[in-house]
């Protein structure tokens, strides 16, 4: 039986059946990842159902149907995955690991659920992504302004899960000239290997705080922390920054001012925070319009009012073409806001200034998330609806 033909049936955006493009000898894993790559998916979900498994693809942040797997094809997929990755056979405990694909590591998670095995592949975890800050969507002015903040001290990156914080942290490492410095990466789940870096995966036995304290004894210059998750980790990050390390850390907060609030909630001493903090970034992801088929339209009155546009302003809407698999979108782009810890901001933090005062000082000359998103709408990069979505938090 040709299992590959059963992996992903030809959809409306496919001109040929999958079997015409992928040899059956390559197996269902190759077919699955090939099709996901072709459709520019960042994640692939394989979830069991009574007929085998359903496949869903995350494309531009949205879930799209990816077809079905027969029970036999699902068994073949799991067997092939276990043979070529560092995962063991499905068991009672969740597993995560990686598989080599197209020259990079694809993160994969396996979970035994009611009805069978659930798999998630994260295709954007490898080295194929352009990690320059500009490629992620950061404006040239902000890129230049960040460079002095990356000598030593504390730089926080705020945003909800799935907002691209880890990708930005790795881009900041590159921007900081990390090739000439000794690096340590503290991660909840180990990401793709980084040449020359010490990578440590946090656990119950070795917490983020433990890893940060260990960095002080390992002659490390730069520490990247993909999640400050409690007071102990936050305090250890500040201590490392006080000792002269550059600490790049993700914080679960909705915006840049919220990251400072979170550090206060963790009872970090105001003077310590004010003296070590160099910058705070916050970000969201919006869908990027396909440049090949986007269409100019007049902004609707309600949207114009929400975004502060003139009535009848020209914006762009998705259409759909072969280049974007008829989705109208070409991936995602990050929207950024930043707080720079200049002397006035340090005084405000040290003196316990409230959030409104911090925000009014931070965004006098720099855009916040809402205004940065509106700029992308005016430039035709994204839609008004996407800007409204992130402006509302």
Per residue in 113-143, pLDDT (tens digit) is 888 899 999 886 444 456 789 999 999 999 9
Determine the distance from the C-alpha atom of residue 52 to the mean position of all C-alpha atoms in its chain, rounded to a whole number. Answer: 30
Query: Which residues touch 16 (CB under 8 Å, ≥6 apart)?
Result: 10
pLDDT at residue 11, rounded to an integer: 43
Query: Counting runs of H as helices and runs of E as strands, what totals does the chain give?
Result: 14, 15
Q: Provide the pairing of β-strand 222-225 with 246-251.
A: parallel
Classify domain 4-125 by CATH architecture.
2-Layer Sandwich (3.30)
Domain boundaries, the chain: 4-125, 133-391
Rounded CA separation 166/178 (Å): 16
Query: Which residues touch 174 (CB under 8 Å, ≥6 apart)?
Result: 131, 132
| C-beta separation of 297 from 314 below 8 A | yes
| C-beta separation of 177 from 205 below 8 A | no
Residue ranges of alpha helices (H) inside the chain are: 27-38, 71-84, 133-136, 140-146, 165-175, 208-215, 231-242, 256-265, 270-276, 301-307, 343-350, 355-362, 369-378, 384-391
Query: CATH says 133-391 is which class?
Result: alpha beta
| C-beta separation of 270 from 349 below 8 A | yes
Using a 10 angstrom Cβ sphere, with 0-12 exposed, 13-18 middle and 19 or more buried, the burial of residue 383 is: buried
Query: Average pLDDT for consecutive 10-residue bins of the chain (393 residues)?
Result: 41 35 60 88 92 89 88 91 85 83 82 90 64 89 93 96 91 83 88 82 89 93 94 97 97 95 97 98 95 92 81 90 88 94 96 94 88 93 92 69
- 3-state SS assignment for residue 347: helix
pLDDT at residue 26, rounded to an integer: 66
Q: Model pTM?
A: 0.80
φ and ψ at 121, to 5 degrees? -110, 135
* Angle formed at CA 286 by CA 283 and CA 291, multiple of 5 degrees: 130
- HSE value, Cβ hemisphere, 13 Å, CA-based, for 176: 25
The DSSP secondary structure of 96-156, one letter per residue, reads: EEEEEETTEEEEEEEEEETTEEEEEEEGGGSTTS---HHHHT--HHHHHHHGGGGSSEEEE
Per residue in 323-382, pLDDT (tens digit) is 888 889 988 999 999 999 999 999 999 999 999 999 999 998 788 999 999 999 999 999
pLDDT at residue 124, rounded to an integer: 65
């Amino acid at each position: 039986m040709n299992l590959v033909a059963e992996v992903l049936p030809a959809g409306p955006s496919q001109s040929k059946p999958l079997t015409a493009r992928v040899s059956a000898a390559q197996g269902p894993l190759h077919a699955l990842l090939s099709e996901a790559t072709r459709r520019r998916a960042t994640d692939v979900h394989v979830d069991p159902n009574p007929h085998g498994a359903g496949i869903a693809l995350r494309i531009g942040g949205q879930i799209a149907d990816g077809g079905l797997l027969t029970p036999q094809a699902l068994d073949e997929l799991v067997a092939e995955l276990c043979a070529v990755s560092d995962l063991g056979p499905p068991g009672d405990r969740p597993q995560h690991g990686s598989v080599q694909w197209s020259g990079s590591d694809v993160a994969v998670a396996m979970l035994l659920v009611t009805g069978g095995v659930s798999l998630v592949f994260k295709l954007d975890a490898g080295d194929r992504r352009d990690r320059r800050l500009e490629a992620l969507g950061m404006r040239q002015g902000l890129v230049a302004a960040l460079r002095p903040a990356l000598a030593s001290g504390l730089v926080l990156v705020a945003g909800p899960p799935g907002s691209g914080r880890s990708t930005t942290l790795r881009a900041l490492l590159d921007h900081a000239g990390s090739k000439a410095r000794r690096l340590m990466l503290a991660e909840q789940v180990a990401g793709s290997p980084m040449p020359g870096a010490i990578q440590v995966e946090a656990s119950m036995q070795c917490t983020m705080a433990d890893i940060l304290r260990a960095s002080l004894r390992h002659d490390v210059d730069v520490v990247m922390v993909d999640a400050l998750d409690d007071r102990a980790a936050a305090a250890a990050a500040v201590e490392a920054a006080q000792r002269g390390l550059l600490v790049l850390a993700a914080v679960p907060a909705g915006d840049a001012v919220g990251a400072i609030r979170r550090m206060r909630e963790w009872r970090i001493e105001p003077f310590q925070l004010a003296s070590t903090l160099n910058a705070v970034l916050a970000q969201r992801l919006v869908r990027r319009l396909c440049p090949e088929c986007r269409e100019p339209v007049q902004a609707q009155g309600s949207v114009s009012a929400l975004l502060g546009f003139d009535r009848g302003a020209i914006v762009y809407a998705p259409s759909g073409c072969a280049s974007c698999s008829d989705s109208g979108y070409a991936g995602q782009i990050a929207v950024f806001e930043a707080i720079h810890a200049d002397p006035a901001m340090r005084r405000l933090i040290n003196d316990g200034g409230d959030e409104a005062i911090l925000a009014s000082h931070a965004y006098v000359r720099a855009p916040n998330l809402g205004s940065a998103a509106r700029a992308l709408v005016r430039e035709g990069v994204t839609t008004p609806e996407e800007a409204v979505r992130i402006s509302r938090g």
